[in-house]
Amino acid sequence: MVNENDCLRVLHVIGSMNLGGAETLIMNLYRNIDRSKLQFDFVVHTDKKMYYSDEINNMGGIVFCAPSFTGLNINEYKTWWKNFFKQHMEYVIVHGHIGSVAPIYLKIANNAGRITIAHSHATKGNISLNELLFRIMSYPTRNIADYFIGCSVKAGIDRYGMRVAHSSRFSVLKNGIDVDKFKYSPSVRFICRDELGIGKETIVWGHVGRFVPSKNHSEILKIFANYKKINCNSVLLLFGEGPEKEKMREFAKSLAIADSVKFMGLSNRINYYLQAMDIFIFPSIYEGLGISVVEAQTSGLPCLTSDAIVDEADIGAGLIKRISLSADVSYWVSVAETMLKKTRKDTSQYAINAGYDIKEVAQKLQNYYIEKSSKG
């Protein structure tokens, strides 16, 4: 139990703190909590300098490096965690974001008398070997953690099962965003397009996502190539990195659209670049939430998504159109043409009303931690 006058330090366990969906959410929360009452520290599984290292340090956070789990070093991994909790009695709450080894470190944390939270940021994917191994390794978590958080109900069900997701131990924590940063601005749109060398009449398609199979970049490229046939004055901006990036670059060449596809890499200014776009495409095969879709809607962009996007991702502004992945490419294009006729406007209040304001989400999490720690 923590005295109400003490600063509660919560330990977040994650692979690394580089640019990424879960990492960005954690940092957005970190920036908006009352750090006189609550502080975040981190156990990461890398010894390399990370994108958020300096900011964490500047906000008073501490980063610890655990050995990367290989399977063969399970005894070393367990020993590291046992020693860690013996040396660090200050952590009442352990919040786990890395799922594959969660049964190991959360079990050890439980044995050390800590309150444990497991967090699901995604839904199930295709049954690839990696996904199958992840499910097998992470399955025991549902019987170990004290509490569970998901970015959506579906994310909770898919990772922890119906029994947990429909229990009082499960909570939905929306992936909050800084709404003001994403608010549509015609003047910023003009500046951004000018910076990118994009003309006033050019139609700009956009996507933000890691280059992995689940994000379905090949479908994005095929849809855009089809649209390009009816409107040659169009470009596609792809933000992100990942193992399939070069493969997609070659695929764009094979579709004869390479000159119109810009691979933008990672950026901490997605809010800025969304202003330049006219339509956002997100045909994911699976998603926990699809926070990029929330950000795009908050910027007033019409969003063309797959039906894998959960209901919680719709902020209620009438900007989402879900399409089955079995639909023909030409159908996606025809829907896009209709959506492009929408007049863009400020829709940021819809995001606030839907509960995506990071200030409110951070306050909710802060209260959640304080409540749980008082029961410890």
pLDDT, one tens digit per residue, over 253-291 is 999 999 999 999 999 999 999 999 999 999 999 876 788
Q: Is the pLDDT score of 134 beyond 80?
A: no
**Higher pLDDT pick, 125 / 156:** 156
Fold observed for domain 8-176+357-374: Rossmann fold (3.40.50)
Confidence label for 100 from pLDDT (cuts 50, 70 and 90): confident
Mean pLDDT of the 141-148 span: 96
The torsion of the CA quartet 21, 24, 30, 31, rounded to 10 degrees, works out to -150
pLDDT tens readout for residues 207-224: 999 999 999 999 999 999
Is the pLDDT confidence value at 157 over 70? yes
Q: Is 64 helix (H, G, I), strand (E, B) or coil?
A: strand
pLDDT reported for residue 111: 98
DSSP H or E stretch at residue 9: strand 8-13
The predicted structure's pLDDT at residue 184: 98
Proportion of the chain above pLDDT 70, given as a percent: 94
Q: Is 14:26 a contact under the CB 8 Å cutoff?
A: yes
Domain boundaries, the chain: 8-176+357-374, 179-354
| pLDDT value of position 135 | 64
8 A C-beta contact, residue 42 and residue 23? no
Average pLDDT (26-31) is 97
- CATH architecture of the domain 179-354 equals 3-Layer(aba) Sandwich (3.40)
Of 273, 279, 274, residue with least CA distance to 339? 279
**Average model confidence (pLDDT) across the chain:** 94
Q: Which residue has the tokens 């992470």?
A: 138
The pTM score is 0.86
Dihedrals φ, ψ of 95, to 5°?
-110, 110
Using pLDDT thresholds of 50, 70 and 90, give the confidence band for residue 21. Answer: confident
Is the pLDDT at 10 greater than 80? The verdict is yes
3-class secondary structure for 360-375? HHHHHHHHHHHHHHHC
